[in-house]
Structure 1
Amino acid sequence: MNIKPVLSFYKNNPGYIKFFFRYLFKRSKPFYDLIFQITNVCNSRCITCFNWKILNKEIDQELTLEEIDKITRKIGKLDTVTIGGGEPFSRRDLPKIVDLFKRNNGVSVVAIPTNCLSTKNILSDTEKILKRFKGQLKIGLSLDGIGETHDKIRGVRGNFKKFLETYHGLAELKKEYPKLRLRICSVILNVNVKQIPEMIKYVKENLPMINYHGLELLKGDYDRGKVKAVSPAEFEKIIEIIEGENKNEINFYKRVTSPIIQRLFLDILKKKKQLIPCRMSSFCPVIDASGNVYSCEQRQKIGNLRDFDYDLNKIWQSKKAKEIRKSIKRKECYCTHSAYQAPNVYLSPKMITKIIRGKY
């Protein structure tokens, strides 16, 4: 066996060993990562949104900063927290929420997506977080097209202009704070599928401070009256473009790992079933703005933290939670949700073998 691909894999994926072993010993700790949707407030009207039915509703039910403090005090140590929404930067106490996870849970990575509309707030809060948080901060900028295509999908005129304004502001911050990571997330759908090659090229040539450009498929309960998912054949053409663009990349993840994950998604689309075990659903809970807890954003609610004395451990070990995890283990669902599937790849010997070989 050629050992060079193996050494290259470990060299370019230093977090894999830690990630793998923390899963092996997960019984000593119920979860390690957390997805927390802190608000339903959003100033976008995206046709791709899987939370569109609750946006800008039930605002009075949102968890307060004091309640979030209670929750974080009972969770224990966490490695990563993804703070979403709605638009997370619409909460003016966002830096204080990050402070709670830093102080009470010792998180080393915080990831926050944004629609880029409230540039002033985004830049101000990002800088506040960077000054106080010594771990890695990942800001995800949404980009679904160039110019009017982006505005059409996001439902706000002038959004593309705001995207550029926000990007350039964050790029300046990145020069001062090296631990700031910038990534772009683009959702592929019928409206923009023909523009994806142009968008990939645009990001590569015009946005040099972007660390990674991720392409997502539609997921969840999006408004099927307004938008359609791409076909497997259309998605395969996009993967081929990505592979061509990245064939000379020095970055191992971009050149090898990412295209293989995309090939897995394609396979899931074609076969419509779970192809590798969903380990993430066992140790990455989802909390929504009202305190409801899920094993995954696409599964049913387990319960509400207010009914469990704000103790995520209690709700995670409830009968209903265990039943849902058993259902997932029986492969009664499938998805291409990258927040779960990408880490699942690192816990799959079959997929690790493919990455080492450099071929799906």
Structure 2
Amino acid sequence: MLKTSLRSSMQGIKGARWNSISSKPTVAVLFQAIEPPVINGVRKPRKPGGYQDSGADIAYTLRAKGIEVITRQASPSIAQHEGWCFPDSEEGIHSAIIQGATHIWANTIVFASHPLQTASCLDSYAPTLRVVGQPPGLVEKFDDKMYLNNQLRALGGFTLPQAWEVKVGDDVDALVQSILAYPIVGKPVRGRGSHGVKVCPSATELKSHIESLFNESPVVLLEEFLAGEEATITVMPPSPNRAEYWSMPPVTRFNHDQGIAPYNGKVAVTTNSRVVTKDEMCDSTYGQAMRQCEGVASLIKATAPIRIDVRRFQPQSGFAIFDINMKPNMTGPGRPGREDQASLSAIAASGCGWDYPTLLQNILHGASTLETFRQYCSPL
């Protein structure tokens, strides 16, 4: 059943995506300026700065490689995040297009009512304008971690931890007492990075954490704590040069803080992450995890890289998928003072022999048309 689903997913994106790709793109990068809506009672937390740091890295690096980049300010400072990117509002996107942008890099959080999906002023550009990112309909549906994980469990062929969903009004005492094995991880169903993620060693601490999360979300996701090695796998979408979804080498994580990988805004991932070596890749569980991650990307019909976090149940066991990120962080070195700001996906790319500029160029080369984005149909 899984193979059939993946085959139909591939058929949905091949053929229409790469007609008349511009050999000389003009790029404008978006940042998160508009507040995400409440979806099923939950609002995804907005990142401070709206991803302008990674947006500036992308714009600066592409320009340094000779690609034409339109910026919001005429001459933004290389030492500042501001001025490199356009707001993701209807006015911001349209402004970039009328200034000549042929490619919009959506370095932001999208959703079904996002201007990229709904703005009528973009309709005439939809057949030719190219977008780097995920379709708004895909993100809105699959950014709900519990929903996507449950769909994967139902399909079979994917390894995930045991999980529970708890809502405001549920009998929290009864739930936490019914869980037989601790620790348990509590986290938001629509999270960002490590925001709100905590390992709880007892029913008392879990109840307290659930109640604290209820202050920002009426739904909380609980998961079995995976005690073994953590890794992250970036899956690239099909492109003109490669017709299938494929995984970059896994990046292993270490130096956790109370069982959780620290937020990259506080601790640079270059200090606690590295590419798995060729010798380590002789362990077949890495390849098994990579194939499952490729299956997820193909199933949901991702149009840009996704990053999937996996972790072993115990040392030496196989991996389980525990977090699927529709918008991987895409910071990278280039601007002064950013030497240690390689993202997890950039670290993975180094295992392919790609530096940060090469990674960005390959992502750009796989951009889809806005029309394709708007016509996205969820397979689940």
Q: TM-score range by the shorter chain?
A: 0.3 to 0.5
Structure ranking higher in strand proportion: 2
Task: Using structure 2 for the length normalisation, give the TM-score.
Answer: 0.31
Task: Using structure 1 for the length normalisation, give the TM-score.
Answer: 0.32
